[in-house]
């Protein structure tokens, strides 16, 4: 695995004056756990994010040199974080295997593993910033296929990922939980056959699975009265030339 760039010294953030961005280290683990305790306690539905059984192992797996963990700090307070994983083909939990990618493609996968923002600091585009930074790091690792797992109950995270150019490539059960796997190819430019698109209720697990099995991907969300809907379309051949880099919107 390539050595990625690091953020040193800490970078300032214009959308949050006084905040700084830096790589998390083992010394930040207690603050990371406290942030997660706060965020998870406030979830509207417990399935939106299920805590890992071994948080210490998860933190180590997504920290240098095996991955990358980025923190947003206000003084000594951690107000947001995001993690990037670099799984190897055949490794347990590899989302590329879940989504049916070939072994050679799995070697180019990066996991957008976890991102949380304290309630008081939401609405400042921190999640969007951390998504773009992780995609840039994935390219530095030589892993342009970025995948993320999202609960069907987590409408906000699904919306944010779709809004930045990702698409739902797979829907099914992972460890007994109903999950989407979203994807973006940073070296391609996805195009969609919108003429044959479908609108499916965001909570209709059976129809969402059937659409993916029929060759459709979820590309956007929409509101139909009180219902949240997902738009599905078939992918057209890529128009981008080899080596062209796509950047999340």
For residue 196 the two structure tokens come to 């044959």
pLDDT band at 239 (very low <50, low <70, confident <90, very high): low
pLDDT for the residue numbered 70? 95
Interior/surface letters 113-129, b for 16+ CB within 10 angstroms, e for the rest: bbbbbbeebeebebbbb
Say if 5 falls within a structural domain.
no
pLDDT band at 242 (very low <50, low <70, confident <90, very high): very low
Phi and psi torsions of 187, nearest 5°: -105, 10
Same domain, 170 and 98: yes
Q: How many Å apart are CA 223 and CA 120, to the nearest integer? A: 26
List, for residues 69-119, the tens digit of each pLDDT value. Answer: 999 999 999 999 999 999 999 899 999 999 999 999 999 999 999 999 999
Same domain, 207 and 178: no
pLDDT for the residue numbered 10? 57
Q: How many Å apart are CA 170 and CA 187, to the nearest integer? A: 20
Say if 246 falls within a structural domain.
no
Same domain, 87 and 121: yes
Bond before 249 cis per omega within 30 degrees: no
Same domain, 208 and 86: no
pLDDT for the residue numbered 244? 34
pLDDT band at 127 (very low <50, low <70, confident <90, very high): very high
Range of the domain at 72: 11-188
List, for residues 197-238, the tens digit of each pLDDT value. Answer: 999 999 999 999 999 999 999 999 988 778 899 999 999 987
Say if 248 falls within a structural domain.
no
If you write DSSP's letter for every residue of 196-209 in order, what string do you get? EEEEEETT-HHHHH
Name the pTM for this structure: 0.88
Same domain, 40 and 127: yes
Q: What mean pLDDT value characterizes the chain?
A: 90
Q: Nearest 10 degrees: CA dihedral of 65, 63, 160, 103?
A: 50
Same domain, 180 and 216: no
CATH label of the domain that carries residue 179: 3.40.630.30
Same domain, 113 and 166: yes
Find out whether 150 and 180 touch, Cβ atoms under 8 Å: yes
Say if 74 falls within a structural domain.
yes
CB atoms within 10 A of CB 32: 22
């Amino acid at each position: 695995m390539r050595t990625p760039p690091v953020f040193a010294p800490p970078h300032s953030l214009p959308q949050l004056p006084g905040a700084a961005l830096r790589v998390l280290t083992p010394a930040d683990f207690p603050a990371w756990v406290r942030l997660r305790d706060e965020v998870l306690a406030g979830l509207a539905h417990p399935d939106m994010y299920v805590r890992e059984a071994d948080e210490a192992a998860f933190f180590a797996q997504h920290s240098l040199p095996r991955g990358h963990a980025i923190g947003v700090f206000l003084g000594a307070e951690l107000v947001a974080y995001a993690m990037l994983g670099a799984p190897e083909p055949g490794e347990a939990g590899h989302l590329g295997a879940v989504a049916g990618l070939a072994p050679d493609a799995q070697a180019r996968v990066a996991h957008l593993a976890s991102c949380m923002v304290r309630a008081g600091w939401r609405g400042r585009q921190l999640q969007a910033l951390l998504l773009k930074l992780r995609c840039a790091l994935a390219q530095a690792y030589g892993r342009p296929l970025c995948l993320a797992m999202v609960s069907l109950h987590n409408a906000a995270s699904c919306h944010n990922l779709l809004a930045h150019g990702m698409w739902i490539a797979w829907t099914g059960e992972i460890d007994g939980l109903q999950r989407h796997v979203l994807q973006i190819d940073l070296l391609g430019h996805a195009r969609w056959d919108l003429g044959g698109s479908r609108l499916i209720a965001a909570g209709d697990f059976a129809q969402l699975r059937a659409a993916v099995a029929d060759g459709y991907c979820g590309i956007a969300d929409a509101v139909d009265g009180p219902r949240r809907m997902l738009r599905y379309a078939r992918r057209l051949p890529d128009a981008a030339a080899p080596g062209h880099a796509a950047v999340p919107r």
